[in-house]
Amino acid sequence: MSQISHIFRKMMPQILHILVLPLFFFAFMLLYRPFHADQLLGNDMYGVHVTIISCIVLLCVAICRLLYYFIPMYLNYSLYVTWCFGEMTITTFFVALYIWLALGRFLPYYQFLAPSLQMVVLTLVIPYSILGVSMRLYEYHQRARNPSGDESSRVRFYDDRHNLKISLHPDSLLYIASELNYVRMYYKEGDTVKNFLLRASMKMVEEPCNDCGLVRCHRSYFINPSHVKLLRKVQNGVSYVELDSDNSRQIPVSAKYYSVLAQLL
């Protein structure tokens, strides 16, 4: 399955999750009292319990969504759904803990897990689904606005905060070099070679590089095979490539990548 769309990684969708999920939970539980929730929480203090549980949902979702945003992860849609169910499961444990402590019943904690899981998951799966479908529809709408235009052929590079920083034609890219916590992209604009420094790891740019035809030749380099002018070995066994740009430097080629690169030339 394909890598998850970057619309799912931006900050605004995370804020929507943090706000919409507890609000939906609060309204749904208060209006419909589903899954015999009034029997579990009691009629006298039902509104108070639902309010506190909604705050627990807010806190759990906020922590999970901020972790999701700030920790670099490479998810496809199946793993994203798993992450969402993981959020609901974590929320369930804290909701069950509150109910167990608040109701003061002399029952083991685990007996509150099943009704809490039913209450949390079957309620929150609705806004999770609505938000997920909405983001996919937004993505399709954006693509429909430019179905075959020039922009669709460009490769997009995002920083470690999932913000789009640069988009380039694949043919203009020469190579990408790692620089500590950054990568530097070298590309041609007319007859001029320019570069752009992006805060990202080599792992983060691996997928767009593969999509646009760049290949790895070294742990610190991706190169565009269409711009390779010469691949050579020197006497000590070290290999280099020279590109067709006059001012590009020699780029090392590791032994593990040499045969793959040689087959592409």
CB 185 within 8 A of CB 166: yes
CB 262 within 8 A of CB 231: yes
Task: Give per-residue pLDDT as tens, 115-155.
Answer: 999 999 999 999 999 999 998 888 777 666 655 444 457 88
Q: Mean pLDDT of residues grouped by 10 in the chain (265 residues)?
A: 72 94 96 89 91 97 93 80 95 95 83 93 95 87 58 77 86 90 90 89 86 87 88 76 76 84 76
State which amino acid sits at residue 115.
P
What confidence score (pLDDT) does residue 248 get? 63
* CB neighbour burial string for 85-114, b if at least 16 within 10 angstroms, e if fewer: eebbeebbebbbebbbeeeeeeeeeeebbe
What confidence score (pLDDT) does residue 208 get? 85
Tokens linked to 66: 């901020």
From the list 116, 118, 113, 202, the residue with the least C-alpha distance to 160 is 202
pTM of the model: 0.65
What confidence score (pLDDT) does residue 1 get? 44
- Edge to edge, the sheet with strand 251-253 lists 228-233, 239-243, 251-253
- Degrees (nearest 5) of the Cα angle 183, 185, 187? 175
Between CA 45 and CA 25 the distance in angstroms is 17
Between CA 41 and CA 52 the distance in angstroms is 12
Which residue intervals of 71-164 are DSSP H helices?
A: 77-103, 113-145
Between CA 142 and CA 139 the distance in angstroms is 5
CB atoms within 10 A of CB 193: 16
The residues spanned by each domain of the chain are 6-145, 153-264
CB 208 within 8 A of CB 157: yes
Q: Classify domain 153-264 at the CATH superfamily level.
A: LytTr DNA-binding domain (2.40.50.1020)
Between CA 141 and CA 100 the distance in angstroms is 46
Helix (H) or strand (E) holding 264: helix 255-264
